Structure 1
Amino acid sequence: MASLTPHRLRKHADYQFTYKAGRKQFAKQIAYFHTLRPAERRSDTPGPRIGLTVPKALGKAVDRNRIKRRMREAVRANLALLTSPVDVILHPRRSVIEMDFQQLKREVAQIFRSVQAACDRATQKAAAPLA
């Protein structure tokens, strides 16, 4: 099983950059932010980086940790869908704790496909010659 460690978003500044420069979108049970990393920020990790935010409003520490464990496993299963140097922050709703795990994996896969498609469009747009 592949490790998530090299693909984790860790620094507060990286989270803040993604919140400010990125787009916020919504899936059924998860809100997510994503932004293509600029070239000067790609040196440490060439591929995607994933961050999780689970606020205290989602329950006590036991519940939040369970949500994070389930989310990390769903991300690990679908990480291959992302190939661009993109930062993604997943912000689940409380209902993720009761959600069927296969459904959670499908939702994360759908999010990653959407993010990858947006990155592909952005790189094509940037590479297109100005007319």
Structure 2
Amino acid sequence: MSISSKPEPHTAAPAVQVAPAGPKVRQSLAGARLRKHADFQRAYAEGRKRRSSSMSWFLAAQSEGAGPRVGLTVGKVLGKAHERNRIKRRLRDALRRHVDQLPAGCDLILHPHRTVLTMEFAKLEAEIVRILQQANAEKARANPNQAARASKAEPAR
């Protein structure tokens, strides 16, 4: 048995990327959620139903002028409780990432289809963004004077 007299060269460990210190900023839907049955009923009565590939949605103007709100309805037809809860968690997470795009002065209600349970999260998030863009465009069409005032209020860059 022979032992090598040369010491093995020391290799430096690869540099590790460290995330910046500080608290994570997580947007919340707490103040932007529809909770009361009467608010849902008013939005259904005043809004119009629209469809996307994996959900239906309603958009209605608010009467009290509060901030933008979003509601989720997941019926029993979509599965057992744990499946419905998972659908709601996925939708809330996707909405939380884009809460700043909710149309101001409007209530948005989402009715997901069962496919939301199994679709890739990136596709779900892209569909949520598309719905929010359509809702903002529809709000601008409904209130052209308000959109014009908002664009004049923005400073020129």
Q: CA deviation at 1:84?
A: 1.5
What amino acid is aligned across from residue 118 of structure 1 in structure 2? E
Q: Report the alpha carbon displacement of residue 47 of structure 1 after superposing the two structures with TM.
A: 2.0
Q: Percent identity?
A: 45
Corresponding residue for residue 45 of structure 2: 20
Distance in 2 of aligned mates of 1:20 and 1:104: 27
CA distance in 1, matches of 2:136, 2:99: 11
Partner of 2:57: 32
Shift of the alpha carbon at 1:36? 1.2
1:115 has 2:115 as partner: no
1:124 aligns with one of 114, 128, 144: 144
Question: What are the ranges of 5 or more consecutive residues in structure 1 without an aligned counterpart?
Answer: none
Question: Which structure's relative contact order is higher, taking Cα pairs within 8 Å and 6+ residues apart?
Answer: 1
For residue 70 of structure 1, the aligned residue among 57, 74, 90 is: 90
The one-letter code of the counterpart of 2:116 is V
Deviation of residue 8 (structure 1)?
0.3
Higher alpha-carbon Rg:
2
1:125 Cα deviation after fit: 5.9
Q: Counterpart in 1 of 2:115?
A: 95
Distance 1:127 1:115 in 2: 13
CA contact (8 A) 2:103 2:139 kept: no
* CA distance in structure 1 between the aligned counterparts of 2:146 and 2:103, rounded to whole angstroms: 17
- For 2:31 and 2:87, the matched residues in 1 are separated by 21
Could you tell me which amino acid in structure 2 is paired with residue 23 of structure 1? R
TM-score scaled by length of structure 1: 0.89
* Alignment length (residue pairs): 123
RMSD: 1.6
TM-score, scaled relative to structure 2: 0.74
Deviation string for 1:14-51 (max 9, x for gaps)?
0000001001100000100011112xx22xxx321000
Cα 1:126–1:77 shift into 2, 3 Å: closer
Give the unaligned 5+ runs of structure 2: 1-25, 149-157
